[in-house]
Structure 1
Amino acid sequence: MKRIAALDSIRGLLLLLMTINHLVWVSGGYSAIQLVTLQPLGQFGAAECFVFISGLLAGAIYSRDTFTNAQLTNKAFKRALSIYRYHIGCIVIVFIWIFIASQLLPSVLPILENSAHNVLQSPINTVIASAALVNQPSYFDILPLYIVFMLLLPLLIIAYRKGLGWLVISVSVVVWMFSSTINTTVLQPLIEFVFANFTLQLGYFNVFAWQLLFVSGSALGYMLQNQTLRWHHPALTAIAVIIAAVIFAAHHGAFVSYDINRWVLYSYADKPELGWLRALNIAVWVYLIAIIIKRYPNALHITALSYIGRHSLRVFSWQIVLVYLSAPLLHNLRLAPYFTALIIIVSATLWLSVWLTEKWQTDAVSKRRVVGYLGMACAVVILGNVVSAQGVSSLTIKATNITDSKTPFFVMVYDEQDDLRQRATVYVKSFAPQQLTQGITIDALPSGNYAVFAFQDNDSNYYLTLGNDGMPIERFGYSNNPLLTTAPQMKDVMFAHNGSQTQTIQIR
């Protein structure tokens, strides 16, 4: 199986999508760009496809006839060791950054600690457990999976060579079907016993479920390498198109009138456990993309994406570090109008990471330049984080006179340029009445003029419902608690935010 440029492009695209999503998530903000980057085609995302393609390429590359069983085992173990080194390198850099941030940026430390627990409280235990691959801070869960799968790969290929592929797939499917039970009754209790008296982050993905992606990918890669698979047929293509189209339509709300929405679909397409609908959705799109590549080999080849796709381990490792390094900056600027542009600019450093590593491998002069570039980059990141922390402060919102303790409230924060009749651009979130009574806090709100609006969403339509006379029929309140006989003007409810403060709203 020759190198397929389109696969490098797809891997590059998946790396870019994951990076953008991770940057948005770690910031605690929202960006419209996720309409494109977060499961745009259905109930599957970039991470699942990345693991599948990794298995596909591993199955093809390591099953070449030129490799004996001993040679492929040696190569696979060396690759696993290489991945482990990158993983440890990322752990060291991120943990050091958290220690630095604890001194320079204590106000945003909760953002980092929310993703990496116990680094400051139990540093030695956290490092040991992370090095053992059982403690997996947020965004550190793919590389440990890949290490385990690469250690498993020689057994898979040897079984394929013996004609036992059917047995491998059967066992993989059975393990996937019982993955949740195996994980909760065997693996987790064992790990918690070994690391007693220490709270672990066990990672987001269930390894027993996600092995299906790698194993099926490796089996497909083996068959393609050895040309033992006749995989395309017009009838199969038609079925795949229909399934993909139906799931796509349901995913985007075509069947809401039948009570079929994204949340209903997700109940069958659970991501950590790799639900059956997610597995099916991935399978049909893998088939359809394979058809496109077969008929139009260069249609999906994009040079810029192939550039980072060819260096996926380096790029993926860099994006882990990047997410943590930029987390304080992005969190502080998550409400800025240029937040999406900033996400794109930060994501563009994926290409820079590849270019720098290529320079590093050339000569001593280039190595010194790379060290200089990295030093300047670190200085810029630290300075940006420090500067962005200036001019932001917390806003606590409380509500009084709440009579219904069950129906949730929507809290909205408007910028002074917003239209109060429209959706707020600064902040929108739902809270239980008890939370609003105690007070909810928005961290790192930039200095400016704002208005707060809260209403109890009795009919669950996400908007303040008005009666026939145009007056609200749901309980609500605004900042400044104005006495209203008509819809308020911004000047009536606006307040200046130049430092940490509490706004108490009386619900009427």
Structure 2
Amino acid sequence: MRTESRRWELDAMRGLMLVLMALTHFPTRLSDPMGQPFGYVSAAEGFVLLSAYMAGLVYSTTARRKGDEPMKSAFFNRALKLYACQLALLLFAFTLIAGIALIGREDAVTGLLGFYLERPVVAMVSASLLLYNPALLDILPIYIVFMLISPIVLLHGMEHGWRGVMALSLLLWLGAQFGLGSALFQTLTGWFDMPLQYQDLGAFSMLGWQFLWVFGLWMGTSHSEPDAQTTHFPRWMVGTALVLAISAFLWRHAVGQTPLPGYPGINLMFDKWQLGPLRLINVMALMLLLMHFAPWLKRRLPRVQMLETLGMAALPVFCAHLVVALLALGLFGSARPDRPFSVDLLILFTGFYALYAVARYAVSRDQSKAAHKKTRTIGPVHMRPSESS
């Protein structure tokens, strides 16, 4: 997505989310301590919320300036691009990564691609239909579905208001907490022999995570309106959010990524894959604080060009980080405390060097395309006869 005037702070935040995701997915000693560093919230929540916000910001403006059809086409083309990326990643995983894992007998990858190794044809067909989504490769499919349904959500929200949309989205999220997704899967597949299990669809609950997407879409659309005002929160709300965020941060780093070991019922309230209620509260508290302190932070924090570059090329960098993570898993296996620290440094240095190189190339390519398009739009400058003599 490109806007006429990019907001560097949004690019930097997306870049930060990509760095945190890479640190989590690269199999090194930093995977665990860098997972959920701000509380019981991961980089995935921030990335989805930011992506939805930017989609609402950009595509609602497209709808107002150019009409509904160009906006729908923009969403569809973006979804098509995401689908092409997903197919490329699947091909990479099912060929090179699977081969490396089988030769090296690496359990980290053979476990990840277990269904594919057992039933390769079924796995390839179902993966191309976005039904089979192994770990690490289960993020883009929900993004694709969200992009495809976004034009309907966006148009309804812009024409009829967002209350009904948000209420329905909240009901679906609530249903996900009580197993609505698996119940629908069992109902839809109860009439025929389905080779896939519900868990093969991917770890992320689409019904749970759609709320975060719809919420971000609503915020981006609201902030794109010509008469949009800066959001101000009451002092009591900011104070409550601050207490919740600090408490979650301290608890996470004192206890660990599992809030209450031995109490699965309570831990389910913080569940990442279903976007549990206490986790969602943590997300909203951090988002409110970020929005409240954004002007102050924007004035005082230095700009980090590397993060902005990564954020500007979010999709290529995201795909590249999965390639690096899969290669590292295939070659070195999961993170182990007994592994030489030099191996972890090699993974981190090579991985982040590759991500930044991909980002620089993608940004440079996009800028060249934009300059070429602008030149073609303006056309050549023709001089009058008197000027050429």
Q: TM-score, normalised by structure 1?
A: 0.64
Q: Which moved more, 1:192-201 or 1:1-10?
A: 192-201
Is the aligned partner of 1:63 residue 2:70? no
Partner of 1:34: 32
CA–CA separation in structure 1 for the residues paired with 2:183 and 2:31: 39
Any idea what the Cα deviations from partners look like across 1:153-173, whole Å, max 9, x if unmatched?
A: 111111121132011111100
SS of structure 2 residue aligned to 1:240: helix
Any idea what the Cα deviations from partners look like across 1:288-308, whole Å, max 9, x if unmatched?
A: 112232234252742101111
Partner of 1:312: 314
- The one of 4, 8, 22 aligned to 2:25: 22
Alignment map for 1:157-306 (pairs within 5 Å) = 157-179=154-176, 180-190=178-188, 196-198=194-196, 201-226=200-225, 227-228=227-228, 231-235=231-235, 236-253=237-254, 261=260, 266-297=267-298, 299=301, 301-306=303-308
CA 1:357–1:58: 2 relative to 1, 3 Å: closer
Partner of 1:397: none
What one-letter code is carried by the residue in structure 2 that aligns with 1:218? L
CA–CA separation in structure 1 for the residues paired with 2:221 and 2:311: 21
Contact 1:83–1:147 at 8 Å: present in 2 too? yes
Contact 1:98–1:109 at 8 Å: present in 2 too? no
Partner of 1:8: 11
CA 1:96–1:191: 2 relative to 1, 3 Å: farther
Identity of aligned residues (%): 25
CA–CA separation in structure 1 for the residues paired with 2:284 and 2:8: 21
Partner of 1:115: 112
- The Cα of 1:318 is off from its aligned counterpart by 1.4
Q: Which has the higher contact order (CA 8 A, sep 6+)?
A: 2
Where does the alignment leave 5 or more consecutive residues of structure 2 unmatched?
A: 369-389
Question: Which of structures 1 and 2 has the bigger CA Rg?
Answer: 1
Give the structure with the larger helix fraction: 2
CA–CA separation in structure 2 for the residues paired with 1:189 and 1:117: 25
CA–CA separation in structure 2 for the residues paired with 1:162 and 1:126: 41
Alignment map for 1:94-493 (pairs within 5 Å) = 94-101=93-100, 106-179=103-176, 180-190=178-188, 196-198=194-196, 201-226=200-225, 227-228=227-228, 231-235=231-235, 236-253=237-254, 261=260, 266-297=267-298, 299=301, 301-331=303-333, 334=336, 335-348=339-352, 349-357=354-362
Q: Which moved more, 1:240-249 or 1:75-84?
A: 240-249
CA–CA separation in structure 2 for the residues paired with 1:282 and 1:319: 24
Partner of 1:44: 41
CA–CA separation in structure 2 for the residues paired with 1:253 and 1:142: 29
CA 1:51–1:194: 2 relative to 1, 3 Å: farther
CA–CA separation in structure 1 for the residues paired with 2:200 and 2:328: 21
CA 1:164–1:358: 2 relative to 1, 3 Å: closer
CA–CA separation in structure 2 for the residues paired with 1:358 and 1:43: 33
Partner of 1:482: none
Partner of 1:53: 50
CA–CA separation in structure 2 for the residues paired with 1:333 and 1:288: 34
Contact 1:12–1:305 at 8 Å: present in 2 too? yes
Give the structure with the larger strand fraction: 1
CA–CA separation in structure 2 for the residues paired with 1:127 and 1:150: 23
Q: TM-score, normalised by structure 2?
A: 0.82
What one-letter code is carried by the residue in structure 1 that aligns with 2:356? W
- Equivalenced residue count is 351
CA–CA separation in structure 1 for the residues paired with 2:243 and 2:335: 42
Partner of 1:441: none
Where does the alignment leave 5 or more consecutive residues of structure 1 unmatched?
A: 25-29, 255-259, 364-508
What one-letter code is carried by the residue in structure 2 that aligns with 1:203? G
Q: Which moved more, 1:76-85 or 1:117-126?
A: 117-126
CA–CA separation in structure 2 for the residues paired with 1:9 and 1:283: 20
